[in-house]
Structure 1
Amino acid sequence: MAINLLSFIKNNLLKFSVFFLFLLSSNSYSQCAGEDSSVTICDIANPTNSNINLFSLLGGSPAPGGIWVDNSKPLEESIFNGFLNAQALRNSGVYSYTYVQDPSSCTDNEATVTLIIGPYAGVPSPNVSTCDDVESFNLFQAFDGTKLAPQQNGTWKNSVTNAPLSGNTINPKALGEGNYSYTYTIPALDTCPEQSATVFIAVFRKPKSGTPSDLVLCSNADLTLYRNVNLNDLLLAEDAGGRWTEAGTNELTTLSDNRINVENIYNTLGAGTYNFVYTVLSSNPICTNSQSTVQIVIEEPLNFTGSTLIVNSDICENQITTATYNAILRRGPQIIPNGSYDVSYTIFNGTTTNFRIVNGNFVNGNFVFDIDEDDLQAVGDYTFTITNIVNTASRRACTNILGTISDVLSISPLPRINNATVTIEPICKGLDAQVVISGNTNLANGTYRVSYTLSGDNVAASQQIDFTATNGVAQFSIPATLIPNVGVNTVLNFTNIINLTSGCSNPVALSKAFTVKPLPNVGAVALNANNICLGHQDVSVQLSGLGNLTNITVDYSLTDANTLLNQNITLTVSAGNASFTIPASALLNTGNTTITLNSILDNSNGCSAVVLNKTRTFVINSIPNAPATNSFSFCKNDLRTIANLTPAGAQYQWFDSVSSTTALSTSTLLVTGTYYVKEVNPTTTCESGRTAVTVTVNELDTPVLDADGQNFCGLDNPTIQNLSDRTSADDELVWFDALENGNQLSANTALAEARTYYAYSYSSTTNCYSDPLEVTVSLSNCDVPDDFFIPDGFSPNGDQKNDVFRISNIEFIYPDFTLEIYNRYGNLMFKGNRSKTEWDGRNSDYKIGVDGIAPNGVYFYVLHFNKGNKKPTQGRLYLNR
């Protein structure tokens, strides 16, 4: 046994304290457990028995360091230090304690101390009493609490009748007033004799305050009937001579007053519970006074108007067998006290009504309760209606106000479409496929979600889409992104359907094949459009790169300066090309207009392809305004040309008729008539309208010179007027000294030899001149006068008198003369002619003399007349400064 016990301890070391584990593992091999021993204790009340050292009770020579095991306890609780309080053992009996050493230290490694604890019946209290209102009195309470308590394994009996008691309690209330005694006996054990103790119990009478009955009223009752209530009427079997008390109502005015006014209580204090206490004083010190409380209860009806009921939760028909339900009742605007309530409700399924009642608690205005699933066993809508609510803490004096409080719980059917008809029309690549579900379904109006896959030409897994069913018909779209491949065998496979309103779902086994048609190939399409002038031209649009298409419908839009959305035009394609026009009437604004190809429809299969990034911007140029101008009046001899008309510039073109298509050059001479001008924008070539311009070219007759009218004698000092007198003209005559940029000459301007003068007829009305009459004047048409002479000297001294040598009027008489002057040495000093008629005494031409100044002296001249074969003449002259 020692080895087995030690083995058990070692195997359960984790359940023992670390301290004892350490002791066990650190024992010396020389230690032993000693010998078994047995000790009988009959005087357990002796104080020495409160701390017994078990090691000292071992026989032999035990070694310290072992472990003590209390054999009366489970092994997990049995290890202790070997010091025992025997007085703590509540029963007499035999107790054993084993001292255990490490088995490796000695063969006999275990010794047991056996304690025989004799009986102890305790010490009764001298005076024990109780009241007859006590229903259970523990007889152990009759022992002296200052002494060691009696052991618990004895038996009680009535000391008078010797009848045993079933336990250790008596019922004073059943015994009644009187004196009673009971004996407690613990049998003998070993050498210790039996012990007994007798207790004496006095039972005293408690006064009777009577059995109360409460007055419970609703505030909406006729409280005038309760203005004089006798509180004694609300008690039964009470002792006389008691008195009534209360707190708060002030209805009792004296100690002998027993009447109250309930109506006044309500009017003053409102609804509530008002306690009135009837007290009868006790005639002995053991029993307490007796009190009975009569409650005057005035309740207000609770108002549940506006309350809501939520029954959780809607389910599907396949959940009926496992579903559980609850409901929450929420108060309306009126405060509902927390507490326990009985709630009555009905369940109506459309044909029958079930009545139910449930108890629960309102907590902060909410009442939550469970619903029996047996009431919800079929598909349908169940209407829950609250019919009554009662606070269980209330006295149910009032009928509470409910209003209508209801909710509907639905058990929804599973959606079924396995036998439905599915229709999918052939669709063009890039478009959504429209799916229509009809026929044999149970789809109620509402929203659903189907799960599906695609197989065949197009493959897609785990797809979902929502749709709405109306009158048993539903439709949805398969996104174009899921069906990119062309072919006649794309298969739609339904796998599941969910009613999104009810959340009910059902597997589906339903398939439908459909066709995806090819789109026209528009990847190589190119677009071109020409610039135009506003209002004058249609825009020509050219398409190329149309491949094998033969007949198409083009959808295009215009944006920017002009907007025209989604225009459709049907075109025939030839060799991949097609064209169309945008009418000028659709292009009302100038500026950049962008044409965008939206799509191209292949009319052979009805498929349309979206054209990406196919745009062309063309310009609608503004039309210049018709030029603003005036009539023009010119003179013929001005030789005005188109260049002289305004407006002028490279952008303007002039025409000689309104319909002419050939513009006149700027050098075209103007004639009297109507000309037409338009503006042409050099950048856009846009043309304005033509403006008519009236041109008048005024012409005057050229003056006519009389025969030999140009010949004069300079000696006569002829003037322009003399020349005019020899000219005929219909208009005013004016003279200029040059053909171009000349100076107009006045009538008294002297004529000059060989000078050319230009005469014009002039109209002050038109301010025009005629073509010029060119006259070169001769002043040599003179006879030699009698007073012609040649001076014989001059004095060039700067006194303004006779400072030059000059033969007067020789230029008129002999216009071709030459004059030579020589000094006395034969050196030529001066050579003159018609343009050089005067010698100033300087030798500027031939550089003879000091500083070119001819000195005083005699000089010689030679005059050649050069007229009429007249011989030259010679002479001398004197120069005197």
Structure 2
Amino acid sequence: MVKKLHFFIKNHFIKFSIFSLFFLSISSYSQCTGTDASITICDIQNPVHKNINLFNLLGGSPTAGGTWIDNSKPLEESIFDGMLDAQTLRESGIYTFTYVQDPSACADNEATVTVKIGPYTGVPSPNISICNDVEAFNLFAAFDGTQLAPLQNGFWTANTTSLSLSGNIINPKALGVGTYSYTYTIPALENCPAQSASVMVSVFRKPISGEPLHLRICSTDNMSAYTNLNLNDRLSGEDTGGRWSDLSGTNEITSSTDNRINVQRIYNTFGAGTYNFVYTVLSVNPICTESKTQVEIIIDKPLDFTGSTLVVNSDICENQIATANYIAILKRGLQPIPDGNYDVTYSINNGTTVNSFTVNSDFLAGDFTFNIDRVNLPVIGNYTFSITNIRSTTSLNVCTNILGTISDVLTISPLPSVNNATVTIDPVCKGLSAQGEISGNTNLTNGNYRITYNLSGDNVVSNQQLDFTVTNGVGLFTIPANLIPNAGTNTNFTITNITNLTTGCINTASLSKVFTVKPLANIAAVVINVNNICVNQQANIQLSGLGSLTNITVNYSLTDANVLSNQSITLVVNAGNANFTIPASSFTNAGSTILILNSILDNSNGCTAVALNKSKAFLVSAIPANPVSNNFSFCKNDLATIASLTPSGSQYQWFNSVSSTTPLNSTTLLVAGTYYVKEVNTTTGCESGRTAVSVTINTGDSPTLDTDGHIFCGLDKPTIQNLSDKTNASGILYWFDAATNGNQLTSDVVLTEGKTYYAYNFSTATNCYSDPLEVTVSLSNCNVTPDFFIPDGFSPNGDQVNDVFRIPKIEFIYPNFSLEIYNRYGNLLFRGNKEKPEWDGRNSDYRIGIDGIAPNGVYFYVLYLNKDNKKPIQGRLYLNR
């Protein structure tokens, strides 16, 4: 209704303005709203000003029925009835009110009444009391509420400095305890003088109950430290003299002076929870109320999720990434978990990045189920989900919950792909399974796979399946032998489908390989031949009837007396024949033994033919027992031979080493050492083992000769006894003139220059002579220099008297002498020494004279003594035949 009225007034004003312009051009009307008026009010508190009729204040002759507008208000609120309550105006100042008539009624259709409100500061209370816990106090609240409230357009001033004042608001808490004065002033308005009013504010101290220090402990903490907790220690800045009260009903506070509690007992009695204790300090003045501080004793108990499991459903294949839905279920472990609302934080680790998420839901009957946005699993790979925090939204959050390891791995697996792979199938022998390999350009990880395949060409089969395992990018598979019964070079293997058996991911495939099925060799005509052997003797096997085979591997077995299974040997076949040996170690038992030919592998194509009913029996004969013999002892000079040993006979053979294959002749001379004898069965040819026989060849300790013991002076006529005296022998020595078959020499036999003598010791312990001491005697060690006779002639006429020229004893006195004889022409005829001391008158060195015979005449000699730096001796001699 008001809005409609305002619209009406506004439209009339516009119409009036237009109409007035028109009216002025033709005529004028008389005024119908009266004339402007003015009123000044300096005592607004006077009750008469509560009801002022503005119409009565207009000058002139206003006509009733107009509309009043309060110009201080918005247009929508300005219309009123002209009755003004001046005491509702809340500020000192000038207000205008306009009386408006319909412009069609008169030309001057409005008049204004001006109302001037002088200052009024109200009636303050005598004194205002405030507690210092008040942080904001409106000073206008210090006035007498039964009187007209002061006008609001004044200003406040503090009557002292540094007082907290902001507009009409003070902060008693900041002021502190005390009495403070403030003045409210409204400036003068025209003939209305300024007014002021002062208020007194007294600030009283409120009791201080202190700041709480709440105690938050976990049940796993050492609560024995809190069995006598002083609650006063959980406050700071409090007034003394207060008292504690228990709001939680623990009965720990037993009197008005009690301030100690047993937290351990509270937990044991009431369990985990929040326990409140209040400290109250009474006010000493009536202005402030008592102060209370509440201290919380929070005892929390951790939840134990040990053994909890996380299952994230479920693993998928890469073609399901865009549509996958994932649900995770967290199941509690052995400890009960209260139902309720929880925040669970988990991480997703894809191997390169780790992202963390927090979900809110409820644990119900031990299970917490939440969804996982597929956007967090965008590509193939392994995603490790780990629970990192579990918090009850109603928990006190004092304890750290026990988690342990709670995780699960979700895998998004690739579709197995082999279209660009390499397939290898080795040529296979007829009757055997074919071995194949898939490798190269694949995405196959280690694990088990299944393929669907077809065979065409030489062998035909459809929709077959086989499983195989991939290791390090290589998968080995087997095509069963019954599917490839036909030999040929054109069997086509084609893979049409592949399944990863671990992930269940399936993919189509188009991959082919042609392979060969090789024929088998014909061994029906093979014949085996083997001779009888002895125990521990190798068997020589001859195979014939091998046809065109050139290189084979034979697999054989032995049965009956000697058993051997599945032995293989590779053989070269020559003109259908091949030979091999079976080691002696295979024949340890005497008796009939059967050689069974199991199969023959043709090495040229790798195919094995099974040999049916191919066997040969032969006899393995026992070997004689090892011969029994004793050790033997001989003297060295007995010259014992093999014939001297027992046992003897044609069936026994003797050897000089354990490995020798050549028997010793019965005349072989024995030496000290070990000999070996065996027995040979002349019927079977089997030989015994060898018995070792020790042969000792005894000899006495050979005498030894003193240093230079062989050197004598021939002038002393030394004997055999003198030679014995120059040895180490302590007993009798036996001397011979030859090493074998010599003559024994008596002790008085005179020694001969350059002759060799042989001495033997004899051992009564062994009754054997020692090896001989061999001594070649020298008789030239004469250290005297007597005069010696040099003949001055000789007659080499063959009468056995003075036939040679010789200087007697010269070889003993000067053993290193040399003699030269010259003719009168200075020609050298003879050169002599110890080995050639005599000149027989012949030209023994030079061809001088007839037939080398020196003629009668004078000759000259030079004798070189070659001892003690003596000068040579020169002389002449006469040769007369």
- Shorter-normalised TM range: 0.3 to 0.5
Scaled by the length of structure 2, the TM-score of the pair is: 0.39
Scaled by the length of structure 1, the TM-score of the pair is: 0.39
